[in-house]
Amino acid sequence: MNSIDGDIDISNYLSKKILKKIKAVDLSKLLPEARLKRIDKYLREIVEDEKIIISQKEICKLVREIYEDSFSFGPVSFLINDDRITEIMINNFDEVYIEEDDAIRKTEIIFRDNNHIRNLVDKILSPLGLRVDESSPMVDARLKNGSRINVVLNPITINDVVVTIRRFKKNIMDIESLKKEGTINKKVADFIKICVKSKLNIIVSGATSTGKTTFLNIISNFIQPDERIVTIEETLELNLNLPHVIKLESRPPNLEGKGEITIRDLVRNSLRMRPDRIVVGEIRGAEAVDVLQAMNTGHSGSMTTVHSNSPKDLVTRLETMILMSGLNSNPSTARRMIASSIDMIIHLGKLKNGRRILLRVSELLNKNEFIGNNTVLGVKDIFKYRAEDAGINDNENNENNESCRGDIVYTGYTPTFMDKIKSRGLNFNFKNENLG
């Protein structure tokens, strides 16, 4: 045979030979270093027996590639182990993007072909009892390391296969980290801490990748340690540093399409588990009804996140979820349910430089007004990000145009839920220091 340098066919030939050998002898019980040595040994035996001309450099490279394909994540293995990377996006065999430090960029990583990606996906999903093919072209799952993988196949995408892997930080941030990064200032942090301790019902809103789940995790740790907490998520991300936490995770249907357990199922079941509070990673459908009812019927202090572009948009989204849940209600009834359940909205966003920032802390009010037969809800900002550029905050959806320079300031509005805070023996002085 010819030299392997630049010869992809020979590389594939050797890879297939080694992979058959690995499956036959089962190297999974060996430590990583021992696996590498065994693969190197098998490869050199094949090269010698079949008189293949190959350089030492290419042997080392091929050993590493075979190991990664067999026991790790193929060409993206080192990305999976890089704590700075939060998202890996495989659009095609020669098109791999990553998100690092809140910025998306294309990498130089290349798979052999799209079948190489599909083989990697099958290897990841098989131990989880999942599959993805033309009859079931979408799958979402959690990996052993806590990362989440989403796979989409043709024909629902024009690409052959698209893989998105979201990695979660091992070192959970705390409120002090958010202060250092400028996401929040001390005054607002102290206020939110008092609100959590006072068992206000809180929703964290924001667009995609604004840090909603991270923020929810941080403020959840303000909960008193003697409370029993039940967390509910599609993929386990929350990591509360509290002694009495029960974690529930939804489950997709199996290969036969059975056994699905939804967020709504878990919320309903959690009510029978005697929780003091329920913390739901995200609501996006019919489970909104059950979460809001739990907030209003003995589980004060519950919290969740919702995708939205502004606090007012959040109200509209919740109303739509309620109306589509199958509950026999009208828009006015849905708004009354929302108003009676939610005390405070914390809205997050991104500035032009990609930095995550707390944009608004708002109270949701039932104005006791009616237009026709419809209840009118109002949103009053308590704290608001104010850019140094004059007039930039006049637009309700100014998150899209935020200046990178500014601060979160008190608007002058005192929320009506201060009575709840005072009933817990706490207080907050908006103009001076925290009195709680």
Q: Are 182 and 402 in contact (CB under 8 A)?
A: no
Name the most confidently modeled range: 178-182, 191-195, 383-387, 393-397.
Answer: 191-195
For the chain, report the end-to-end CA distance as a whole number of angstroms. Answer: 79
Q: If you average pLDDT over residues 56-82, what whole number do you get? A: 85
The per-residue pLDDT for range 82-112, each reduced to its tens digit, is 888 989 999 999 999 999 877 889 999 999 8
**Other beta carbons within 10 Å of 254:** 12
Check pLDDT > 50 for residue 392. no
Q: Are strands 202-206 and 95-100 parallel, antiparallel or unpaired?
A: unpaired
What's the topology of domain 76-166? Beta-Lactamase (3.30.450)
CA-based nearest residue to 278, from 307, 244, 301: 301
What is the pTM for the complete model shown? Answer: 0.78
Of the CA atoms within 13 Å of residue 289, those in its CB half-sphere come to 17
Q: If you average pLDDT over residues 13-23, what whole number do you get? A: 79
Query: How does DSSP classify residue 398?
Result: G
Helix, strand, coil share of the chain (percent; to 5): 35, 25, 40
Q: Are strands 202-206 and 303-307 parallel, antiparallel or unpaired?
A: parallel
**Residues in a beta bridge with 151:** 139, 163
Supply the pLDDT for residue 375: 65
Q: If you average pLDDT over residues 175-197, what whole number do you get? A: 93
Name which residue leads in pLDDT, 48 or 171. Answer: 48
CA-based nearest residue to 275, from 244, 306, 235: 244
The per-residue pLDDT for range 362-385, each reduced to its tens digit, is 999 875 554 455 667 889 999 999
Q: If you average pLDDT over residues 34-58, what whole number do you get? A: 87
Supply the pLDDT for residue 201: 96
Name which residue leads in pLDDT, 290 or 388. Answer: 290
Distance CA 249, CA 247 (A): 7
Please state the length of the chain. Answer: 436
Check pLDDT > 60 for residue 52. yes
Supply the pLDDT for residue 434: 47
Check pLDDT > 90 for residue 50. no
Q: If you average pLDDT over residues 304-318, what whole number do you get? A: 94
CA-based nearest residue to 217, from 287, 146, 151, 116: 146
CA-based nearest residue to 297, from 307, 289, 305, 285: 289
Instruction: Please report, rounded to a whole number, the percentage of residues in the chain having pLDDT higher than 90.
Output: 48
**Other beta carbons within 10 Å of 165:** 22
Q: Does domain 175-423 have CATH number 3.30.70.1290?
A: no
